[in-house]
Structure 1
Amino acid sequence: MNKKYLLAPAALAAALGLALSGCASGGDAAPGELQIDVPDVPQLDALGDTEDEVNILAWSGFVEPAWTDQFTADTGCAVNRKIFATSDEAVQLMRTGEYDLVSASGDASLRLIVDGNVQPLNTELIPNFSDDIVEGMKGQLYDTLNGNVYGIPIGRGANILQYNGDEVTEEPTSWDVVWEADSPYAGKIAAYDSPIYIADAAIYLMATQPELGIENPYALDEEQLAAATELLKQQNGMVSEYWNPATNITSFTGGNSVVGTSWEVLRKATGDEKFKSVLPEEGSTGWSDAWMLAADAQHPNCAYAWMDYTSSPEVNGQIAMNFGMAPANGAFCETSDEAREHCDYYNATNEEYFEKVWFWTTPIDQCLDGRTDVQCTNYQDWTNAWATVKG
């Protein structure tokens, strides 16, 4: 397993002031695996009769009538959906006790686990959680702790380099086209608008300035953060637009930007084949999502039924196609020509591709690369640095 995945939970745990040793409920971690103290929340041993409904918190596009209607017809469980916009909002809403399930991203998932808001899952009660789930999304430490599985994978994606093929006629192989001062595309470069974008700069510095000693883009000491900040300030003078998902599309289609960081789904949403993308040789940042069950779920049987239903190749694939991401169930990719095309586009079963992706992790004082002779910078430090970049 790639060490970048192994470090993510330690980052989040330390950010929350958690102990990195001790026991958890239920499971047994393998020797040498990270141990985090978590509340003793029992898992469901057996299924009972389904209830009348299930209450789900979800990212937009994850819970839609196209598949909820059939689920209700099959199980008798009516689906009540609430959309959230951020992981912070999802965590706050789950803590109200009003929801059974949440589609949690990596940062939200560990917060929910360590606060006892979600319960370990009995995967034997979820038949579709099988060998068909791609290896890169099973057993990740941000939702699988101390031998317990807390998250059922939904999908993942990388933050790629997008470009206008009419303007950038030779496919880029490096992020140098967005970072170097002599870039021929200065003034037409799109950049992600968030302090976590500092990690993108750190990935480039890992390759181009090895003397800085960066081993993990989320583990930066003061000198390394200063170097990343200076690179971002240099880029600032070349940036046409700092984007969110809506403005990214219009920035490219309107001609304001011709190259920059993006998501595959956003590139596809431009609706024009001249917009292309590549995962550069230095690698990139990325994201991943999973279903998690509330510790005090009022409708656990319907919730288990939902997790199983949406983990099937057909339904997981529908969610992935609707949202625009790589599905968790790799068997979907063989169900049709359309499915194969989608999976190829999002590199769904290409683990070599995702080995180059550093999934977003909260930076903390503890150095995630294992260093103990220095203190690393935390997310507040990154937020302060980002403010100096944008001015």
Structure 2
Amino acid sequence: MRKAKFWTASMGVGALLLATACGSGTGDKGATAQRTVGKGEGRVDVIAWAGYAEDGSNDPKVDWVHPFEKSTGCKVNTKVAGTSDEMVALMKTGQYDTVSASGDATLRLIAAKDVAPVNTDLVPNYRDVFSGLKMRPFNSRNGQMYGIPHGRGANLLMYRTDRVTPAPDSWKAVFDDAAKYPGKVTAYDSPIYIADAALYLMKTEPALGIKDPYALDQTQLDAAVALLKKQRRSIGEYWSDYQKEVTAFKGGDSVIGDAWQVIANTALAEKAPVKAVLPKEGATGWSDTWMISAKAAHPNCAYKWLNWIISPKVNAQVASYFGEAPANAKACRETTDPHHCAIYHADDESYYRRVHFWTTPTRQCLDGRTHTTCTDYAQWTRAWTEIKG
């Protein structure tokens, strides 16, 4: 069975400062992009989401680690992380070479100078990465990439077709209309979910002036918190383990809420009467990026891993096993299911233009405002604790 992120709610973090990059070859002072890839050092220490670095131990037929080791001579030592906060903490130790960071962690890693700029010329398969994943706010700074895109997905609105009628096409169903489903609404258990409320308000209450769901001043954050507190009265449970969400929808404990495409696919495969849609307001989403530690002990093997993990065949294997859209356009020719990329909208940039990918909120407003102080992730974390009570 395909695996997805087993994420739990993030814990508090300190205030964030944006890092700046200088030129195409260097980033923050002291962090310089590697210029060449030499002989491998014999090992690479990896932090990854479950399902991203499979070596056959979970399923003998699912193994892209051992072929890499055989091809490069770099032994892979994998630490599976359960949350973005865990990844950030592990990278701070300097004991790991690379990490599959999500957008709610990448800016923290850049700001703390825990990761180095990436020389994309040293990753030949980068040329085939979908353009919509290159030079994004969550993986680059001032024209300099800080990682190699891995894959992406949208946070969809999922509902039971036998319990929710008419079919919803708006996030209104889980916000303003949540009271129609008392105790049956579910939502993702993380401070980053505040962005989902902000996105809805951005479309429905233009007077608030929200331009980016991850760039909220105090007034805008307060409005999102108020909406989520209202929703809280109808929440049955917040989810972080996707398998538990599948079970909740199958049993009817949840009838509507946000979900990933892989959750909908799994629920349908288990005969649950569900449907997942991208609402008319658009949605939040996630995109993971392989980043290299600024203190990497095995940088050559790390670069070899980055090029391997997004090579067409391997990227297709990971995307199929995990349940996501691959980053490499050529991977769509390699998936076991010929319809995989269509199901996950891998090559549909118009679809992903409607998706606001997770980006760590910072005090420097990400929407370009210069005379306003925005709320950072630490404030969002405190607000989330208040919302959940």
Identify the TM-score tier after normalising by the shorter chain.
0.7 to 0.9
Verify the 8 A CA contact 1:24 1:40 in the aligned structure 2.
no
Alignment of 1:192 with 2:188, yes or no, is: yes
Q: For 1:67 and 1:266, how far apart are their aligned partners in 2?
A: 24
Verify the 8 A CA contact 1:161 1:261 in the aligned structure 2.
yes
Structure 1 gap ranges (5+) = 1-13, 29-36
2:240 aligned partner: 244
Alignment of 1:96 with 2:86, yes or no, is: no
Alignment of 1:1-391 (within 5 A): 15-18=15-18, 24=22, 26-27=24-25, 38-65=28-55, 66-130=63-127, 132-168=128-164, 170-181=166-177, 184-245=180-241, 246-270=243-267, 271-272=270-271, 274-335=273-334, 338-372=336-370, 374-391=372-389
How far off its partner does 1:154 sit?
0.6
| Aligned partner letter, 1:17 | L
Of the structure 1 ranges 64-73 and 37-46, higher mean CA displacement relative to structure 2 is found in 37-46
1:4 aligned partner: none
Q: For 2:330 and 2:228, how far apart are their aligned partners in 1?
A: 41
Q: For 2:97 and 2:69, how far apart are their aligned partners in 1?
A: 16
| Aligned partner letter, 1:64 | E
1:100-144, CA deviations, whole angstroms, 9 ceiling, x for partnerless residues?
Answer: 2211222333333343333333322222111x2111111223322
How far off its partner does 1:294 sit?
2.2
1:155-176, CA deviations, whole angstroms, 9 ceiling, x for partnerless residues?
Answer: 1111110111222354321112
Query: Counterpart of 1:307 in 2: which secondary structure?
Result: helix
Identity of aligned residues (%): 50
Alignment length, in residue pairs? 366
Verify the 8 A CA contact 1:25 1:38 in the aligned structure 2.
no
Runs of 4+ with >6 A deviation: none
Change in Cα spacing, 1:19 to 1:347, as seen in structure 2 (3 Å) is: closer
Change in Cα spacing, 1:388 to 1:43, as seen in structure 2 (3 Å) is: closer
| Aligned partner letter, 2:142 | N
| Aligned partner letter, 1:383 | T
Q: When the two structures are superposed, what TM-score results if normalisation uses the length of structure 1?
A: 0.85
1:10 aligned partner: none
Structure 2 gap ranges (5+) = 1-13, 56-62
Change in Cα spacing, 1:73 to 1:377, as seen in structure 2 (3 Å) is: closer
For the aligned residue pairs, the C-alpha RMSD in angstroms reads: 2.5
Q: For 1:238 and 1:155, how far apart are their aligned partners in 2?
A: 33
Q: For 2:373 and 2:143, how far apart are their aligned partners in 1?
A: 30
1:323-368, CA deviations, whole angstroms, 9 ceiling, x for partnerless residues?
Answer: 22111012111235x4432212211111111111112233344433
How far off its partner does 1:19 sit?
6.5
Verify the 8 A CA contact 1:317 1:339 in the aligned structure 2.
no
How far off its partner does 1:265 sit?
1.8
Change in Cα spacing, 1:387 to 1:374, as seen in structure 2 (3 Å) is: same
Verify the 8 A CA contact 1:25 1:42 in the aligned structure 2.
no
Q: For 1:95 and 1:195, how far apart are their aligned partners in 2?
A: 21
Change in Cα spacing, 1:367 to 1:310, as seen in structure 2 (3 Å) is: closer
1:32 aligned partner: none
| Aligned partner letter, 1:58 | A
